[in-house]
Homo-oligomer: A and B are copies of this chain.
Amino acid sequence: MTREEIEKLIDERVEQRLAAQEARAMTIIASKGTLDMAYPVLILATTAAAMDLETSVFFTFYGLDIINRHKYANLKVPPVGNPAMPVPVPNIIGMLPGMTAMATAMMKNWMGKVNMASIPELLDVALESGVKLIACQMTMDVMGIKKEDLIDGLEFGGAATYLGEAAKAQINLFI
C-alpha cells in the first residue's frame, strides 16, 4: 500500500472507533447530606456499576453524612426553601419543628412503595459491585470526623484523588 492509502485507512478506522466509543467510567461528587440527594448518588452509582462502568463516588462536605455510620440511616429531607415539594409547604409552616420529620417520612413512604432499598442497603450494594467510595480527607480534618465515624470499605483522598479518577472518566457529576 502507498503512504496515501495507509493514511486514508488509518483515518477511516479511527473515525469508526471514535464514533463507537462509549464511556467506561463514571465519577460522582456527593456534596449534600440530605436524603433526597443521597438517593440519586447511590441509585446512579449502583446502576452504573451494574452496567459495567468503573464507578467512583467522592464524598465531600455534607456529603460525608451519607457514609457516616452514626447518621446514614437517618438522613433528612428539608421542607423549607424547596417550593417544588409536591405537597407545597408555605415557608412559615415549613419552619415548624415537625415539618422536616414530615417531609422525610413522606420520602421514605414513597421509596417504600417502590421497594427502594435504604441508604445503608444501597451502600452495601455499591461496595459489593465494586464501586469505589472515597471520603474527602480535607473535609474530615476540617470537621473533625474520624475514620471510625465512617463505614468500612472506604478509600481516603482529596481533590487531586478525585481529579485523577475524573480524568479517566467521561461521565462526571456533581450532586
List residues of A whose CB falls within 8 A of some B CB. Answer: 1, 3, 6-7, 9-11, 13-15, 17-18, 21-23, 26, 29, 31-34, 36, 39-40, 43-44, 47-48, 50-51, 53, 60-62, 65, 75-86, 90-92, 94-97, 99-100, 104, 110-111, 113-114, 116, 138, 141-143, 158-160, 162-164, 166-175
A-B pairs, top 6 by smallest CB distance, nearest first, are A33-B84, A81-B81, A76-B83, A62-B84, A47-B159, A23-B167
- Among candidates B22, B77, B90, residue contacting A97 with C-beta atoms closer than 8 Å: B90
**A173–B6 CB distance below 8 A:** no
**A53–B163 CB distance below 8 A:** yes
**A173–B65 CB distance below 8 A:** no
Beyond the given pairs A62-B85, A110-B143, 16 more chain A to chain B contacts, judged by CB atoms under 8 angstroms and listed by A's residue number, are A10-B10, A22-B167, A22-B168, A26-B166, A34-B82, A51-B160, A51-B163, A62-B82, A77-B83, A78-B82, A78-B91, A91-B95, A92-B95, A95-B95, A163-B171, A172-B172
**B168–A171 CB distance below 8 A:** no
